[in-house]
Amino acid sequence: MKHGCSTEELSTILQHSRQTVPALWGTQAQQRWASSLPMNTVVLFVPQQEAWVVERMGRFHRILEPGLNFLIPILDKIRYVQSLKEIVIDVPEQSAVSLDNVTLQIDGVLYLRILDPFKASYGVEDPEYAVTQLAQTTMRSELGKLTLDKVFRERESLNSNIVHSINQASDEWGIRCLRYEIKDIHVPPRVKESMQMQVEAERKKRATVLESEGHREAAINVAEGRKQAQILASEGQKAEQINKAAGEANAVLAKAEAKAKAIRLLSEALTLQNGNAAASLSVAEQYVSAFSNLAKESNTILLPSNTGDISSMVTQAMAIYGSLSKTKTQSTADSAPPETLEVTLEGNTVSETETAQKY
């Protein structure tokens, strides 16, 4: 050859220098395009957040760091280009059966990052495709452990379990799964109708319970109100009875005091001159008043033989009064203290003590 290059080397250089169409990685749902491999130009500039895996004579040599790098032509070859940025992969929609035998259609989004470019290049043929398939199988496995209701309630724990399971298997590939998010969960139409009916029944149940609790609270409030009203009424009756009793006691005392005063005034009047005549007149008036009311309350009465002789009735009443007065005077004299009398006999004074009854 004129230029010192073999035909095989020339074809290799031409193959690396021409513009090639990017190839599709994984399945069609991923829509991730890989950049073409750069050719060895001795002096290379590696972009930030990329790792170029270099082979020397078909064997792994080193990983080029971002910045300026030098390679030996022909001997060194850039075999893999790994991006160290966070990679977002759409997990295709797939079928999964829950614990209560409900078929679900679930898709998600996977976030991962390449931590070890060497393992990502030589540990697995297509790391992103492998992680996607692992995410799908793990998601089906985790969904089989939960019922339909728990799938919606425990979405966060489901995502964390999927991430943990993926990281256990992807450590050998140099890939770290950062998080996994479930985008949509599609249920069969009949199951969706059943869920809607369940939601409506739950809301009706909640409304019925709230209504019954309202009735109960109202009944309790009414009972409390009646109880307080009865307590207040009993306290009012108690206060009324106390006040009434106090009023009756005061009235009895007032009547007793008035009667005592009347008796005292009457006794004083009887001791005056013509007191007996006044007493006779009062007895006669009371007799006439009592006689006039005999037949008003009952038609059966007992009358003395001399009902028309008022004077005899007054005389009899005065005799009773006189005997009572005499008895009272006698009892007063019996209780009087002894008196000392002085008697003069033959010029001598003799003192004797005798009771007032002897004289």
**Residue 86 and residue 89: Cα distance in Å, rounded?**
10
Q: Is residue 313 part of a domain?
A: no
Are the CB atoms for 123 and 137 separated by under 8 Å?
A: no
Q: What are phi and psi of 276, to 5 degrees?
A: -65, -40
Question: Are 166 and 232 within one domain?
Answer: no
Could you give the dihedral angle defined by the CA atoms of residues 206, 209, 211 and 213, in that order, rounded to the nearest 10 degrees? -140
- Give the list of residues 6+ apart from residue 124 with CB closer than 8 angstroms, or none: 130, 172, 173
**Residue 283 and residue 3: Cα distance in Å, rounded?**
176
**Residue 82 and residue 64: Cα distance in Å, rounded?**
11
Question: Are 198 and 172 within one domain?
Answer: no
Question: Are 45 and 122 within one domain?
Answer: no
What's 145's domain CATH number? Answer: 3.30.479.30
Question: Are 155 and 222 within one domain?
Answer: no
Look up the domain containing 260 and give its range: 189-271
Q: Is residue 232 part of a domain?
A: yes
Q: What are phi and psi of 182, to 5 degrees?
A: -85, 125
Q: How many domains does the chain have?
A: 3
Instruction: Give the end of a domain, one of 83, 114, 134.
Output: 83
Question: Are 74 and 137 within one domain?
Answer: no
Question: Are 151 and 245 within one domain?
Answer: no
**Tens-digit pLDDT profile for residues 296-321:** 666 666 666 666 666 676 676 667 66
Question: Are 156 and 239 within one domain?
Answer: no
Q: Is residue 329 part of a domain?
A: no
Element (H, E) at 180: strand 175-186
The size of the chain, in residues, is 359
Question: Are 102 and 140 within one domain?
Answer: yes
**Tens-digit pLDDT profile for residues 90-108:** 888 888 888 888 888 888 8
Predicted local confidence at residue 1, as pLDDT: 36
Q: Is residue 110 part of a domain?
A: yes
Instruction: Give the end of a domain, one of 229, 247, 271.
Output: 271
Question: Are 145 and 199 within one domain?
Answer: no
Are the CB atoms for 184 and 106 separated by under 8 Å?
A: yes
Question: Are 100 and 48 within one domain?
Answer: no
Predicted local confidence at residue 222, as pLDDT: 92
> What residue ranges of the chain have pLDDT lower than 50?
1-34, 338-359
Q: Is residue 63 part of a domain?
A: yes
Question: Are 64 and 144 within one domain?
Answer: no
Q: Is residue 60 part of a domain?
A: yes
**Tens-digit pLDDT profile for residues 176-208:** 888 888 888 888 888 878 878 888 888 889 899
Q: What are phi and psi of 264, to 5 degrees?
A: -65, -45
Are the CB atoms for 346 and 331 separated by under 8 Å?
A: no
DSSP string, 50-67: EEEEEEETTEEEEEEPSE
Q: Is residue 344 part of a domain?
A: no
Q: Is residue 292 part of a domain?
A: no
Predicted local confidence at residue 221, as pLDDT: 92
Predicted local confidence at residue 300, as pLDDT: 63
Instruction: Give the end of a domain, one of 187, 217, 233.
Output: 187
Q: What is the pTM (predicted TM-score) of this model? A: 0.46
Predicted local confidence at residue 344, as pLDDT: 41
